[in-house]
Structure 1
Amino acid sequence: MILVTGASGQLGRLVIASLLEKTEASNIIAAVRNPDSVKDLAEKGVQVRQADYSQPETLVKAFAGVEKLLLISSSEIGQRTPQHTNVINAAKETGVSLIAYTSILKADNTPLALADEHFETEKLLEESGIPHVLLRNGWYSENYVMGLPMALEHGAVLGCAADGKFSTATRADYAEAAAVVLTSNNQAGKVYELAGDAAFTLTEYAAAITEASGKTVVFQNLPEAEFKKMLLGAGLPEGLASLFANSEAGAAIGGLYSDNKSLSALIGRPTTPIMETIKAAL
Structure 2
Amino acid sequence: MSTILVTGASGQFGRLVLDALLASGKVAPADIVAASRDTGKLAAYAEKGVTLRTADFDDTATLDAAFQGIDKALIISTDALAVPGQRLTQHRNAVTAAKRAGVGRLFYTSLPNAETSAVTFAPDHLGTEEAIKASGLAYTILRNSWYMENLFLSLPSALQSGTWYTSASDGRTSYVARADLAAATVAALLADETGNVTLTLTGPVGYTNAEVAALVSEVTGKPLAVVNLTDEQLAEGLAGAGLPGFLIPTLVSFDANTRLGHIEIVTDSVETLTGRPSTSLKAFLEANKAALAG
**TM tier, smaller:** over 0.9
Look up the match of 1:217: 224
Q: What SS does the corresponding residue of 2:150 show, helix, strand or coil?
A: helix
Q: What SS does the corresponding residue of 2:97 show, helix, strand or coil?
A: helix
Q: Deviations over 1:119-158 (max 9, x none)?
A: 0111111111111111011111111134332122101222
The alpha-carbon distance between structure 1 residues 52 and 234, as it changes in their structure 2 partners (threshold 3 A), is farther
TM-aligned CA deviation for residue 237 of structure 1: 2.8
Give the 5 Å matches for 1:1-282: 1-22=3-24, 23-77=27-81, 78=84, 79-282=86-289
TM-aligned CA deviation for residue 238 of structure 1: 2.6
Runs of 4+ in structure 1 displaced over 6 angstroms?
none
> Quick one: distance in 2 between partners of 1:187 and 1:197?
27
Any unmatched runs of 5+ in structure 1? Answer: none
> Quick one: distance in 1 between partners of 2:145 and 2:194?
20
What letter corresponds to residue 281 of structure 2 in structure 1? I
| Contact kept? 2:56, 2:62, Cα under 8 Å | yes
TM-aligned CA deviation for residue 241 of structure 1: 1.7
TM-aligned CA deviation for residue 187 of structure 1: 4.9
| Contact kept? 2:120, 2:249, Cα under 8 Å | no
Q: Deviations over 1:218-276 (max 9, x none)?
A: 11111111212333344433332202211211211211101222122112122211112
> Quick one: distance in 1 between partners of 2:194 and 2:169?
37
Deviates more, 1:219-228 or 1:171-180: 219-228
TM-aligned CA deviation for residue 41 of structure 1: 1.0
The alpha-carbon distance between structure 1 residues 235 and 89, as it changes in their structure 2 partners (threshold 3 A), is farther
> Quick one: distance in 2 between partners of 1:120 and 1:181?
22
| Contact kept? 2:143, 2:198, Cα under 8 Å | yes
> Quick one: distance in 2 between partners of 1:44 and 1:149?
36
| Contact kept? 1:98, 1:133, Cα under 8 Å | yes
The alpha-carbon distance between structure 1 residues 235 and 65, as it changes in their structure 2 partners (threshold 3 A), is farther
Deviates more, 1:26-35 or 1:225-234: 225-234
TM-score by length of 2: 0.92
TM-score by length of 1: 0.96
> Quick one: distance in 1 between partners of 2:282 and 2:160?
19
What letter corresponds to residue 98 of structure 1 in structure 2? R
| Contact kept? 1:196, 1:271, Cα under 8 Å | yes
Deviates more, 1:32-41 or 1:269-278: 269-278
> Quick one: distance in 1 between partners of 2:130 and 2:124?
10
> Quick one: distance in 1 between partners of 2:132 and 2:179?
25
Q: Deviations over 1:62-118 (max 9, x none)?
A: 111111000001111231110011101111111111110001011123333331110
Any unmatched runs of 5+ in structure 2? Answer: 290-294
| Contact kept? 1:145, 1:281, Cα under 8 Å | no
The alpha-carbon distance between structure 1 residues 236 and 98, as it changes in their structure 2 partners (threshold 3 A), is farther
The alpha-carbon distance between structure 1 residues 235 and 44, as it changes in their structure 2 partners (threshold 3 A), is farther
| Contact kept? 2:174, 2:204, Cα under 8 Å | yes
> Quick one: distance in 2 between partners of 1:235 and 1:268?
44
Deviates more, 1:265-274 or 1:171-180: 265-274
| Contact kept? 1:181, 1:187, Cα under 8 Å | no
